[in-house]
């Protein structure tokens, strides 16, 4: 009819007009359908999570086992082998005797190696580690007489670093390099006066008359100092003998050479500590005659460094427990 409007009403609950049993069945089916969809979504999310977790696990395994010293520059051509000694020379660092000697072996055993350069940038470190490298360089020189080995100093070639360099046939340096420090030192401290002022009583129990040797919490014992000085002098003499053996008549007769002083590269040439001024590239191209260089330096994986660090800390704890805290270094 004209003038009348028809209003269409939508029932918000379409099941309301159905019989009770049919309405109940539809509601159950709806709930089951939604539950199934929710479960599928949950299962999918967990599936993605576990896939990502497995992928992360694979990446971690690859990182742990992937060698940091993988050489991507190996060539079948004649080349100059390079081995770097960088940083502190110690059993727990990359400049350890184990790493350096392993690198030198690879360099000398390569049939395409025309010569070896050991590039040194080190303040020194353990006399034992430096001595092992020195002895091995001397042995490799005798075993491979046709392969020359030269040392090139970078910023710093001091103490144990120079001990290693002295084993090479020739030593080259930059004019501004710091070279020398042929000596031995051992650091300690004393707390007796501070303890007296603070009213602290030291209690130490030992078995063995000298087990508290050089204890920093007790007064200085002249007999202990004398014994220690004898040890340092003996190690220093080992250092001097190695340098004289390696350098021979090239060393100038100067009483300060073995006093622990350091000199520039230019001054070291005049003193006979260094043969000539020159860089790594210069030695490769002009002395060895092969400008192509292959780096054989062994790089420690970070996971190995972590494990070695843990081992070192455990060892330090045990040394402290048995009263062996002191360390001796080439300096």
Q: How many Å apart are CA 126 and CA 331, to the nearest integer?
A: 10
> Which H helix or E strand runs over 213?
none
Degrees to nearest 5, angle at CA 26 with 24 and 28: 70
Q: How many Å apart are CA 173 and CA 120, to the nearest integer?
A: 10
Which contacts (CB < 8 Å, 24+ apart) does range 306-314 have?
308/92, 309/92, 311/92, 312/91, 312/92
* 159 flagged as catalytic: yes
What Å distances lie between residue 3 and 6, 237, 316, CA to CA? 10, 123, 102
- CA-closest candidate to residue 303, choices 104, 65, 123: 65
Q: How many Å apart are CA 7 and CA 152, to the nearest integer?
A: 99
Q: How many Å apart are CA 280 and CA 80, to the nearest integer?
A: 10
Four-residue CA torsion sign, 219, 222, 227, 232? positive
* 268 flagged as catalytic: no
Active site residue: 31, 98, 175, 211, which one?
Answer: 211
Active site residue: 159, 177, 181, 268, which one?
Answer: 159
Phi, psi angle pair for 257, to nearest 5°:
-55, -40
Q: Which residues contact 196 (CB under 8 A, 6 or more apart)?
A: none
Catalytic residues: 159, 211
């Amino acid at each position: 009819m004209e003038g009348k409007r028809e209003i269409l009403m939508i029932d918000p609950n379409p099941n309301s007009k159905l019989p009770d049993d049919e309405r109940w069945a539809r509601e159950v089916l709806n709930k089951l359908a939604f539950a199934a969809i929710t479960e599928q979504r949950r299962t999918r999310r967990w599936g993605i999570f576990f896939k990502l977790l497995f992928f992360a696990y694979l990446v971690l395994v690859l990182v742990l086992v992937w060698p940091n010293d993988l050489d991507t520059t190996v060539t079948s051509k004649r080349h100059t082998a390079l081995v770097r000694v960088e940083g502190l020379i110690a059993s727990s660092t990359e400049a350890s005797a184990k790493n350096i000697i392993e690198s030198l072996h690879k360099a000398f055993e390569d049939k395409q190696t025309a010569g070896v350069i050991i590039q040194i940038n080190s303040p020194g470190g353990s006399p034992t580690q430096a001595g092992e490298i020195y002895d091995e360089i001397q042995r490799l020189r005798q075993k491979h007489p046709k392969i020359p080995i030269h040392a090139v100093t970078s910023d710093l070639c001091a103490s144990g670093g120079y001990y290693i360099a002295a084993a090479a046939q020739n030593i080259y340096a930059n004019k501004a390099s710091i070279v020398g420090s042929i000596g031995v030192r051992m650091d300690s401290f004393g707390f007796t006066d501070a303890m007296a002022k603070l009213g602290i009583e030291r209690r130490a129990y030992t078995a063995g008359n000298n087990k508290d040797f050089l204890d920093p919490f007790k007064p200085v014992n002249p007999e202990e100092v004398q014994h220690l000085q004898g040890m340092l002098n003996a190690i220093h003499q080992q250092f001097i003998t190695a340098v004289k053996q390696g350098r021979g008549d090239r060393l100038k007769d100067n009483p300060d050479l073995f006093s622990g002083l350091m000199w520039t590269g230019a001054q070291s040439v005049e003193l006979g500590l260094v043969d000539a001024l020159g860089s790594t590239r210069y030695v490769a191209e002009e002395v060895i005659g092969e400008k192509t260089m292959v780096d054989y330096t062994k790089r420690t994986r970070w996971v190995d460094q972590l494990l070695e660090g843990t081992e070192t800390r455990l060892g330090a704890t045990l040394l402290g427990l048995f009263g062996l805290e002191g360390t001796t270094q080439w300096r």
